């Protein structure tokens, strides 16, 4: 890039950064404003008086019977953790088989994995709702975890297969010569070598379930079983929206995710792009 283009580069960089962060910044600013300032005319962009009422109200379950932020947070964390563990186990096994074994049906499983990527959730949810109802899995973490894990599994398998492919098969052969069986090779040799890939995949499925809305909204009717997405979205239908509460809840829902993204940026990106960009 020639020197004379540099001002243009900086202008573009500032514009695109502003575009990307403006709603995020607005959320944080609003969460710190007293209600009067949120509804003030003319609009105040920066909070004139810092105010933590929203955060306090959200975290104090007794203040408002419609707010159960701590339960929602806990529910979301439990569901997301269980989903992550389940999908990681299944997709590590499957990804390893896809990467290392030559077996009948391997190609068709590859295609099926790809095909599951296109299944629309809004179609899937109709039969799944009836099946969950028949097995009394509505309103339970277990039902939601099964649905989330299965939706995350194909993509996780695909990602992990990529990581396993990047480990040379010479390592498997060396372990095999040393007398290790398939299982020992997998657990003791291959998994430790692909730890970064496992972490990325884990984060991916954690985020997917942390952010999911449609299934949680449809499967969970008990309000103390709700996840964060459902709980926060429930504010929106009310006649009077307490935007300071709502934005405080949003900040607390978002910050863990944004921090995770920043910490894992490089790995996340290489994991996402490994399969498609080659």
Partner 1 sequence: MNNDNALLGQPSLPTQQTEAAPRPRFWRSEWRRLKQNRAAYLFIAPLALAVGLVLLYPILKAALMSFQYWKVARPIAEGHPFVGLDNYAAVMDSGYFWQSLGITFLYIFVTVVLRFVLGIGTAVLLNTPFKGRGLVRALVIIPWAVPEVVTCLVFILMFDYQFGVVNDVLIKMNILSNPLAFLGESDTALWAAMFVNVWKGFPFAAIMLLAGLQGIPKDHYEAASIDGASAWKQFTSVTLPALKPVSVIVFLLLVIWTVKDFGIVYVLTGGGPSRATELLTIFIYRAGFKSFDFGLAAAAGMFLLLISVVFTVLYMKATKAGESA
Between 62 and 120, whose beta carbon lies closer to partner 1?
120
Question: How many whole angstroms separate alpha carbon 69 and alpha carbon 90?
Answer: 31
Packing angle, helices 69-100 and 141-165, rounded to 10: 40
Q: Least Å distance between CB 69 and partner 1?
A: 13
CB 216 within 8 A of CB 126: no
Between 177 and 276, whose beta carbon lies closer to partner 1?
276
CB 33 within 8 A of CB 246: no
Q: Least Å distance between CB 102 and partner 1?
A: 5
Q: Least Å distance between CB 103 and partner 1?
A: 4
Question: How many whole angstroms separate alpha carbon 161 and alpha carbon 163?
Answer: 5
CB 55 within 8 A of CB 67: no
Between 50 and 170, whose beta carbon lies closer to partner 1?
170
- φ, ψ dihedrals at 84, nearest 5°: -60, -50
Q: Least Å distance between CB 24 and partner 1?
A: 5
Between 20 and 195, whose beta carbon lies closer to partner 1?
20
């Amino acid at each position: 890039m020639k020197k004379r283009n540099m001002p243009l580069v900086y202008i573009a960089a500032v514009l695109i950064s502003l575009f990307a962060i403006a709603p995020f910044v607005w959320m944080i600013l609003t969460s710190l404003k007293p209600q009067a300032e949120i509804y003030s005319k003319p609009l105040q962009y920066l909070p004139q008086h810092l105010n933590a009422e929203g955060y306090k109200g959200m975290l104090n379950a007794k203040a408002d019977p419609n707010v159960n932020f701590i339960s929602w947070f806990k529910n979301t964390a439990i569901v997301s953790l269980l989903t992550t563990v389940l999908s990681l186990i299944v997709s590590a096994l499957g990804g390893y088989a896809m990467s290392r074994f030559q077996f009948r049906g391997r190609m068709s499983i590859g295609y099926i994995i790809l095909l599951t990527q296109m299944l629309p959730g809004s179609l899937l949810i109709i039969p799944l709702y009836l099946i969950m109802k028949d097995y009394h899995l509505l309103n339970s973490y277990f039902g939601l975890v099964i649905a989330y894990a299965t939706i995350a599994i194909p993509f996780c398998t695909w990602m992990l297969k990529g990581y396993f492919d990047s480990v040379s098969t010479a390592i498997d052969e060396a372990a095999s010569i040393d007398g290790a069986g398939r299982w020992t090779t997998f657990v003791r040799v291959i998994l430790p070598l692909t730890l970064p890939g496992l972490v990325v995949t884990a984060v991916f499925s954690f985020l997917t379930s942390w952010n999911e809305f449609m299934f949680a909204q449809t499967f969970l009717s008990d309000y103390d079983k709700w996840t964060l997405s459902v709980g926060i979205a429930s504010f929106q239908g009310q006649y009077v929206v307490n935007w300071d509460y709502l934005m405080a809840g949003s900040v607390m829902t978002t910050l863990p995710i944004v921090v995770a993204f920043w910490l894992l940026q490089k790995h996340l990106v290489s994991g996402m792009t490994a399969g498609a960009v080659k």
